[in-house]
Amino acid sequence: MINNKLAIAIVGCGGMGGQHAERLFALDRVELAGTFDIREERQEWARSKGMNTYDSFEAVLNDPNVDIVLCATPNHVHKDIVCESMRAGKHVICEKPVTLNVAELEEIMACQKETGMQFTVRQNRRWDDDYLMIKNIFDEKTLGRVFRIESRIFGSRGIPGDWRGEKEFGGGMLYDWGVHLIDQMLQLVPGKIKKV
């Protein structure tokens, strides 16, 4: 804890990690302990914004003030960062998709059970205004019985940029935007979904 606030360290200070870092400054209940990124230009960016930077991931884990690790790295390294953080006594928030396969997720869940630390995945598209409006219409049965739902992502041709488009890093459309669409459907539709 820092100043009686929960202290968060961000591992991976690129696009999403950088956004998290800037937004944490505005929150009352948490304090940004610092950031770590393997790219020096992102470390320099964080320092230019007045943020503390750690020299290594191990330095994050060894900081007794850090309560929570926010993992915002490329997808293929989430599991190791999440498990190492929990084993170091840190709670974890992980960017989606949490893992690239079920076996890795099962390892994380076993680690969470073993350590007793809190673990969650950030699914920010649950709070989009358009989705919440549709969810409200669905929940109130305004349209009657719904038998089909279509959802699409547009943006820049729907193609994720940088490492998020590269298979070797756990990128690609399904891992990037598809995870949001699947999560929204699971939150929206009670019971078993029959076909996607």
Query: Do residues 168 and 76 touch, judged by C-beta distance below 8 A?
Result: yes
The type of residue at 23 is: R
The reported pTM is: 0.84
Q: In this predicted model, what pLDDT tens digit does every residue of 118-135 receive, in sequence order?
A: 999 988 888 889 889 989
Please tell me the distance from the alpha carbon of residue 83 to that of residue 113, in angstroms, as a whole number: 11
Q: How far apart are CA 2 and CA 66, in angstroms?
A: 8
Token reading at 182: 């699947």
User: What confidence score (pLDDT) does residue 159 get?
Assistant: 63
- pLDDT tens per residue, range 138-167: 888 898 888 777 877 765 556 666 766 666
Tokens of 17: 């990690």
Residue 168's pLDDT band (cuts 50, 70, 90): low
d(CA 111, CA 122): 18
Q: What is the DSSP string of 18-39?
A: HHHHHHHTT-SSEEEEEEE-SS
Q: CA–CA separation, 150 vs 93, rounded Å?
A: 29
Distance of CA 86 to the CA centre of its chain: 16
What are phi and psi for residue 183, nearest 5 degrees?
A: -60, -45
What are the structure tokens assigned to 165, written together? 């488009």
Q: Under 8 Å CB-to-CB from 75, ≥6 apart: which residues? A: 95, 97, 99, 100, 169, 170, 171, 175
Strand partners, 68: 8, 91
pLDDT at 183: 84
Write b or e for each residue in 176-193: b if 16 or more Cβ atoms lie within 10 A of its Cβ, otherwise e: bbebbbbbbeeebeeeee
